[in-house]
Every structure is written in structure tokens, then in C-alpha cells.
Chain A
Amino acid sequence: MIEIKDLKKSYLINGNKTEALKGINLKIEKGQVFGIIGKSGAGKSTLLRCLNLLETPDEGEIIVEGRDITKFNKRELREYRKNVSMIFQHFNLLSNSNVYKNVAFPLEIAGHKRDYIDKRVRELLKIVGIEDKEKEYPSNLSGGQKQRVAIARALANNPKILLCDEATSALDPLTTKQILDLLLELNKTLGLTIVLITHEMDVVDRICSNVAVMEKGEIVEEGIKDEVFKSPKSKTLRQFLQSQKGEVIYLDFKERAI
């Protein structure tokens, strides 16, 4: 479904060229929940943002359903973006619009009629489980509710792919679990392909079918999550798995103490 070929991107920071992506090759199949993990600055955010061209790559191809999206003109890109939605760490909702209006936004810009918008918004709010909040403004919602609104908004135009940019990193563990369950359910019921980046191992563990590990702008290992996690090769993944285990041991200790 998504095939990334030799993708390169560099930035000029204070006159110094920094390579964020050093030739990424990656295949993501339809229906996968694909996790990209890595430390801060590994390039995972840049990679994800290339998938809907919020970042323009310097070199390489991104083939989505047979078409190279880096060659799209403005109009094609806007149409493509209606098929590939994104949710964010800080939700990025319209603060002066209520929940209903936030979810209606992508439908309005797609030029749908009022009746359809009304029906679809209610449908979406039901899917994400906040149908009683339609008149609330984002400032009155909890983090989890805000992310639900953002997910409803992202789903409005029936996208095939959902990009998650650290979507649970600002949420508490319980809310994180609920949002992940929702994403997994959407993956199962709608056949939504999900690409997510995170530095939280639990997120990957919980919902990803496949995983890629990034270090300094390169993918150092990738594959089916269970296999990759069983025999981690990269330093990053070994460290991440260790710290995850560390937490488990700590909890055991606490339980024994009680």
C-alpha cells in the first residue's frame, strides 16, 4: 500500500546541514498497524510527516496505491490528503469551534451538503464514543476526549490510512490504553491502515502488527513485531525493551512489598 524508496531529507540548522532521513526504504501493507519507534531526533517524525507531505522530501519516492505522491500537484495533493488523515500529540483542534464544528470541518472543506455533514458527524461522534459532547468546546474536554474528537475529525472523509504523530504521548496510561483500543478497533472494523510513531514501547506492544526501529535517520531493523521484539538487534530497541522490562520488575517489587 505504501512503498518508500530511498527517501532523503535534510535540514539547514544554523547553517549546518543535518540529515534527518538518510535513504529510507520501507513497505507498509494494507491493514497493518505499523509502528515506527526511535529516540528523539531519530527522524521518525520527519518520516511520518513525509507520508502526507507536511514535509517535502529532498530525494526518493513515496508510492501510495501505485502513485508517487511526491509528484502530485497541489490539487492532487489536497485530494490525497483527504484519504490520508493525521492525528497529533497535542490534538490540534479548532479552539473556537465546538466538537460538532471540529468534526464537520473536513466535511465542509470537502464540499459536502449540510444534511450529509449532519448525519456523518453524529455517526463519527458515536464511533469514537463522545456523542454527548457535540456542543462542548475543546477547552472543556479531557485529553482523551480531545483525541477522540481529533480521531473523529480524521475519519470524516473515510481515509484509508491514519497517521499518528505521538498520538498518545500527552495522555495518561489509562487514557492511552483506551485510545489505543479505539485505534485497534478502527483498524479491525474499517480496515484502516495505521502508521504511528512513538517512543512508548507499550504503545507498540499493544497495537502494532509491524515495527521499524530508527536510529539517526536510518531504519536499523524492521519486521513483524513479535519476531523483531524476540531477537532485537539494534541498540535502540534493546535499550527500549530493557527499560520496559525494568518497569515490570519495579511493579513486581512493589506488589511483593504490599
Chain B
Amino acid sequence: MSEILKLVLPSFLDTLYMVVFSTLFSILLGAPLGIFLVLSDKEGLLKMPKLNSIIGSIINITRSIPFIILIILLFPLSRVIVGTTIGKEAAVVPLSIAAAPFVARVVESALKDVNKGVIEAAVSLGASTPQIVFKVLIKEALPGLILGITLTIVNIIGYSAMAGVIGGGGIGDLAVRYGYQRFRTDILIVTVIILILLVEITQRTGNYFAKKIDRR
């Protein structure tokens, strides 16, 4: 048992590291894009349909590249940013970039759900666009945003297992190296259970908070 723990614990921490930082960076990259998509829409506050469709296309292209290929394509970038292509730090780069367009779409759809009348009321009261974004759009869409971010984290947990296989470390890597290649079924089972628990806890926590702050 302690042997399994010795193997699993560091891998688990690596996975947590990848998930936490990738989520953070993907939100930092993706959320502004999502907000811009909403504002630049032809019915949005800034109305820049051309730029909107260009950015929309870039997001679609990025999302249609299979993740495993995206990681390989982004190896050079990992080397530039983190100095290496191996390890959990290096995996955060492709993970964040792969998840960012997903975050952008999730944020976009949550913000588009905000009642148009409420936005109009804010405009009629003399609110500026940044004030509307932060005091109206994000606040009103918060339950949807939380659910969207939860979905993103669950996705990143899955992606991190893949990233692990090509040198990122973490639970996925452990599952392949020990569980699969060394026929350690016990380790395979433990890693799968850990991933299931991780996803389950994330989803339940997200649902709980989304429901708690929803006053509609």
C-alpha cells in the first residue's frame, strides 16, 4: 500500500499542478477573448463583425486540432517559455493554449445568456462599456461562468492525462508507465479512481457554487 502511495502521491500532485495552473492561464487567455466575442458581435456593444469573425475562426481552428498534435506543435513554445519540453511546467503551456479557446466559447455563451433588457437598462443609465462588462455582464452571468469554468477544469483533467504521456508527468503518465507497460493493474485502478474522484469533486463543487449564487 505504501509503495502505491509513494508512486501515486507525487503524480497526483503533478496533476494538480498542471490542472491548477493550466486553468488559471487558460482563463487569463480565454476570458478576454470570450468577452470580446460578445462585445464585437453584430448585436453587441462594440459591433465589430469582421474582427469578430476572424477571431471566431482562429478559435475554431485551434479547437479542431487534436490535443495530442497541438502539444507536439507547441513544444517549441514550451521550450521558449519554460526552457524545457518535459515535465509538469512544460505541459502547462500546451494545456493552457488548448483550453483557452474552449474558455473563450464558454465565456461567450454564458455572457450571451444575460438578459438584453438588463444591458439596455445599464446603457440607458449612462454606463460605459467596461462598466457594463464588469458590473453587469460578468455579475449577471456568474452562475453560467462558474459552470463553464467547471467544465473547463474537467476537460483539463482529461487533457493533463494525455499531456502526461508525452513527458508531462502526472497521473496519466503513471497509469501508462506502471499500469499499462508494467502490467500493474492495481496502479491502473488507483489512478483511474483518482481521476474519477477528481472529476466528480470538481463537478459537484462547481454545481454547488453555481446554484448558491444564482438569484434568478
A-side residues, CB < 8 A to B, are 52, 54, 78-82, 85-86, 88, 90, 92-98, 105-106, 108-110, 137-139, 150, 153-154, 157, 163
B contact face: mostly helix, strand, loop, or mixed: helix
- Closest 5 A-B residue pairs measured CB to CB? A81-B126, A92-B121, A92-B117, A137-B215, A82-B126
Question: Which residue of chain A lies nearest to B213 when distances are taken between CB atoms in the complex?
Answer: A96
Q: Are B124 and A95 in contact (CB under 8 A)?
A: no
Indicate whether A109 sits within 8 Å of B123 (C-beta atoms), given known contacts A93-B118, A95-B140, A139-B216: no
Q: Which residues of A contact B122 (CB under 8 A)?
A: 105, 109
Within B135-160, the residues touching A (CB, 8 Å) are 135-136, 139-140, 142-143
C-alpha spacing A80/B117, complex, angstroms: 20
Q: Are B115 and A54 in contact (CB under 8 A)?
A: no
Indicate whether A110 sits within 8 Å of B126 (C-beta atoms), given known contacts A93-B118, A137-B215: yes
Q: Are B126 and A94 in contact (CB under 8 A)?
A: no
The number of A-B residue pairs with CB atoms under 8 Å apart is 75
Q: Which residues of B contact A94 (CB under 8 A)?
A: 118, 136, 139-140
C-alpha spacing A98/B143, complex, angstroms: 16
C-alpha spacing A205/B84, complex, angstroms: 78
Number of interface residues of B (CB under 8 A): 23
A sample of 26 cross-chain residue pairs with beta-carbon separation below 8 angstroms, ordered by A number, consists of A78-B127, A78-B128, A81-B123, A81-B125, A81-B126, A82-B125, A88-B117, A88-B120, A92-B117, A93-B118, A93-B121, A94-B118, A95-B215, A96-B140, A96-B143, A98-B215, A105-B122, A105-B135, A106-B125, A106-B126, A109-B131, A110-B126, A138-B215, A139-B215, A153-B125, A157-B126
Within B95-129, the residues touching A (CB, 8 Å) are 115, 117-118, 120-128
State the Cβ distance, B11 to closest chain A Cβ, in Å.
40
State the Cβ distance, A150 to closest chain B Cβ, in Å.
8
Q: Are B125 and A96 in contact (CB under 8 A)?
A: no
Q: Are A105 and B213 in contact (CB under 8 A)?
A: no
State the Cβ distance, A227 to closest chain B Cβ, in Å.
32
Question: Which residue of chain B lies nearest to A81 when distances are taken between CB atoms in the complex?
Answer: B126
Indicate whether A86 sits within 8 Å of B126 (C-beta atoms), given known contacts A96-B140, A109-B135: no
User: Does B200 sit within 8 A of A, measured CB to CB?
Assistant: no
Indicate whether A109 sits within 8 Å of B124 (C-beta atoms), given known contacts A94-B140, A95-B115, A96-B139: no
C-alpha spacing A106/B121, complex, angstroms: 10
Within B15-34, the residues touching A (CB, 8 Å) are none
User: Does B186 sit within 8 A of A, measured CB to CB?
Assistant: no
State the Cβ distance, B17 to closest chain A Cβ, in Å.
33
C-alpha spacing A153/B124, complex, angstroms: 11
Q: Are A92 and B115 in contact (CB under 8 A)?
A: yes
Question: Which residue of chain A lies nearest to B119 when distances are taken between CB atoms in the complex?
Answer: A92
Indicate whether A54 sits within 8 Å of B139 (C-beta atoms), given known contacts A93-B118, A96-B215: no
Q: Are A96 and B214 in contact (CB under 8 A)?
A: yes
Q: Are A95 and B126 in contact (CB under 8 A)?
A: no
